[in-house]
Amino acid sequence: MAQNETPPTIPRGPAFTPEALCSMSGNIKVGACDVRSNLVTGRGATPEEAASNFFASRQLLLDGYAALDRPQPPAIPLTREARLAQILTCGLAKAVANGDYSLVERLAKAVALVLSDAVTPTEIAPVFAVRSQKNEYEWYEVSGKVCTCPDSTKHVKAGDIGYYCKHVLAVIFTAKLAE
């Protein structure tokens, strides 16, 4: 640079945070087979401070991994209602994905049937009795995907074999809860 040139001006900006003068880094290997490798850095104004921060960070890392390795307490089993909610949400997601809002309605009604203990096994193993929602003295027989209710009968006659009435769905939910 020539003598008579003015030095470039340094733009004024936010004050810089002064860099720590000393730093100490190390690759910490954790685990029985040293499978986890982590770079730890400690910084400070003096070598002692940097070393102290390095060892503090290292300890935090080791404590964190020790907590991960500790056996976890067994998960608290979900209540029947919570499991039913999970099953319902799963069914609702599939129904909504298919744009089948009639099924959304039947799924909700099926949950109501299960919650009101309307599903009862019969003496013939695969056959369940499901109480009518409209008439508490009326019961329908559900065997597999077929039900004796008017809704199911109508769809079976129409050849709609993929149709599940709310009673069939209630039996499916009951079976899932028993798993």
| Rounded (10°) CA dihedral 107, 76, 117, 120 | 90
> Per-residue x/- marks for Zn ion, 96-135, CB under 5 A?
----------------------------------------
Q: Which lies closer to Zn ion via its Cβ, residue 118 or residue 165?
A: 165
Query: In this structure, what are the phi and psi dihedrals at residue 48, rounded to the nearest 5 degrees?
Result: -65, -40
The nearest distance, CB 168 to Zn ion, in angstroms, is: 6
CA atoms of 43 and 49, how far apart (whole Å)? 7
Q: Which lies closer to Zn ion via its Cβ, residue 118 or residue 147?
A: 147
Q: Which lies closer to Zn ion via its Cβ, residue 30 or residue 131?
A: 131
Contact set for Zn ion, span 135-164 (CB under 5 A) = 147, 149, 152
The nearest distance, CB 96 to Zn ion, in angstroms, is: 22
Residue 154 contacts residue 65 (beta carbons within 8 Å):
no
Q: Calculate the CA 86 to chain-centre distance.
A: 10
Q: In which residue are the tokens 């685990």 written?
A: 31
Residues at the contact surface with Zn ion, assessed by CB under 5 A = 147, 149, 152, 165, 167
